[in-house]
Amino acid sequence: MKTVDRHLWQRFLAIATPYWRHEEKWKAWSLLLLSILLLLGQTRFAVLFNEQTGEFTSALAARDEERFWVSIKYCLGLLIVAIPFFASYYFVRDTLALHWRRWLTYRLLDKYFSHRHFYELNAHAEIDNPDQRIAEDINTFTQRSLYFLLILIGSILQLVAFSAVLWSISRELVYFLVFYAAIGTVIIIFGFGRRLIGLNFQQLRREADFRFSLVRFRENAEAIALYHGEAQELQQVRQRFTNAFRNFKQLIRTQLFLNLFQYGFGLLTIVLPSIIIAPQVLSGELEVGRAVQAAGAFAAVLSAISVIIENFEALSRFTAGVDRLNTFTQYLAGESTSRASALGVIESVEGSQLWLERVTLQTPNYERTLIKELSLHIKPGQGLIIVGQSGSGKSSLLRALAGLWYAGSGTICRPLPQDMLFLPQQPYMLLGTLRSQLLYPNEDRPVHDADLLSLLERVNLPELAARVGGLDAIHDWEKLLSIGEQQRLAFARVLLCKPRYAVLDEATSALDIANEEHLYQQLLNSETTLISVGHRPGILKYHAQVLELTGNGEWRAEPAATYQFAG
Ligand X SMILES: Nc1ncnc2c1ncn2[C@@H]1O[C@H](COP(=O)(O)OP(=O)(O)OP(=O)(O)O)[C@@H](O)[C@H]1O
Under the criterion CB under 6 A, does residue 205 sit at the interface with ligand X? no
Q: Measured from the CB of residue 338, what is the shortest distance to ligand X in angstroms?
A: 19
- CA-to-CA distance for 223 and 236, rounded, in angstroms? 16
* Site mask for ligand X (CB under 6 A), range 505-524, x = bound: --------------------
Strand, helix or coil for residue 352? coil
Under the criterion CB under 6 A, does residue 396 sit at the interface with ligand X? yes
Angle at 280 between CA 275 and CA 284, to 5 degrees: 135
Q: Measured from the CB of residue 536, what is the shortest distance to ligand X in angstroms?
A: 13
Q: Measured from the CB of residue 331, what is the shortest distance to ligand X in angstroms?
A: 17
Q: Measured from the CB of residue 115, what is the shortest distance to ligand X in angstroms?
A: 18
- CA-to-CA distance for 484 and 508, rounded, in angstroms? 7
- CA-to-CA distance for 275 and 272, rounded, in angstroms? 5
Q: Measured from the CB of residue 555, what is the shortest distance to ligand X in angstroms?
A: 12
Instruction: Pick the closer one to ligand X by CB: 73 or 535.
Output: 535
CA dist 424 to 261, 419, 421, 490, Å?
59, 17, 10, 9
Q: How many residues at the interface with ligand X, by CB under 6 A?
A: 12
DSSP H helices, 220-311, are: 221-227, 230-282, 288-305, 307-310
Instruction: Pick the closer one to ligand X by CB: 130 or 393.
Output: 393
* Site mask for ligand X (CB under 6 A), range 362-391, x = bound: -xxx----x-----------------x-xx
- CA-to-CA distance for 524 and 539, rounded, in angstroms? 11
Closest by CA position to 537, among listed 416, 336, 387, 415? 387
Instruction: Return all residues near 123 (Cβ < 8 A) that are at least 6 apart.
Output: 364, 365
- CA-to-CA distance for 409 and 361, rounded, in angstroms? 7
* Site mask for ligand X (CB under 6 A), range 330-369, x = bound: ---------------------------------xxx----
Q: Measured from the CB of residue 122, what is the shortest distance to ligand X in angstroms?
A: 8
Instruction: Pick the closer one to ligand X by CB: 393 or 553.
Output: 393
- CA-to-CA distance for 150 and 40, rounded, in angstroms? 11
Under the criterion CB under 6 A, does residue 394 sit at the interface with ligand X? yes
Q: Which residues pair with 355 in a beta bridge?
A: 377, 413
Instruction: Pick the closer one to ligand X by CB: 122 or 220.
Output: 122
Q: Measured from the CB of residue 487, what is the shortest distance to ligand X in angstroms?
A: 15
Instruction: Return all residues near 258 (Cβ < 8 A) that are at least 6 apart.
Output: 188, 192, 196, 312, 313
CB atoms within 10 A of CB 301: 26
Q: Measured from the CB of residue 388, what is the shortest distance to ligand X in angstroms?
A: 6
Instruction: Pick the closer one to ligand X by CB: 50 or 392.
Output: 392
Instruction: Pick the closer one to ligand X by CB: 191 or 391.
Output: 391
Q: Measured from the CB of residue 565, what is the shortest distance to ligand X in angstroms?
A: 14
Q: Measured from the CB of residue 567, what is the shortest distance to ligand X in angstroms?
A: 14
Chain positions 434 to 453 lying near ligand X, rule: CB under 6 A, are none
Q: Measured from the CB of residue 362, what is the shortest distance to ligand X in angstroms?
A: 9
- CA-to-CA distance for 57 and 54, rounded, in angstroms? 5
Return the DSSP state at 337: G
Sequence letter at residue 292: V
Under the criterion CB under 6 A, does residue 395 sit at the interface with ligand X? yes
Closest by CA position to 70, among listed 53, 51, 56, 82? 56
Stretch that binds ligand X, among 71-79, 166-174, 266-274, 392-400 (CB under 6 A): 392-400
Task: Report the residue from 54, 154, 393, 499 that binds ligand X according to the rule CB under 6 A.
Answer: 393
Instruction: Pick the closer one to ligand X by CB: 368 or 467.
Output: 368
As a three-state string, the secondary structure of 170-234 is CHHHHHHHHHHHHHHHHHHHHHHHHHHHHHHHHHHHHHHHHHHHHHHHHHCHHHHHHHCCHHHHH
Instruction: Pick the closer one to ligand X by CB: 146 or 407.
Output: 407
Instruction: Pick the closer one to ligand X by CB: 282 or 343.
Output: 343
Q: Measured from the CB of residue 451, what is the shortest distance to ligand X in angstroms?
A: 34
Under the criterion CB under 6 A, does residue 566 sit at the interface with ligand X? no
Task: Report the residue from 293, 392, 433, 508 that binds ligand X according to the rule CB under 6 A.
Answer: 392
Q: Measured from the CB of residue 389, what is the shortest distance to ligand X in angstroms?
A: 7
Instruction: Pick the closer one to ligand X by CB: 283 or 390.
Output: 390
Under the criterion CB under 6 A, does residue 532 sit at the interface with ligand X? no
Contact 452, 435 (CB under 8 A): yes
Contact 210, 237 (CB under 8 A): yes
Instruction: Pick the closer one to ligand X by CB: 325 or 346.
Output: 346
Instruction: Return all residues near 263 (Cβ < 8 A) that are at least 6 apart.
Output: none
Instruction: Pick the closer one to ligand X by CB: 370 or 459.
Output: 370
Q: Measured from the CB of residue 557, what is the shortest distance to ligand X in angstroms?
A: 16
Strand, helix or coil for residue 509? coil
Contact 322, 8 (CB under 8 A): yes
Under the criterion CB under 6 A, does residue 562 sit at the interface with ligand X? no
Instruction: Pick the closer one to ligand X by CB: 232 or 365.
Output: 365
- CA-to-CA distance for 284 and 288, rounded, in angstroms? 9
Instruction: Pick the closer one to ligand X by CB: 264 or 391.
Output: 391
Strand, helix or coil for residue 500? coil
Q: Which residues bind ligand X (CB under 6 A)?
A: 363-365, 370, 388, 390-396
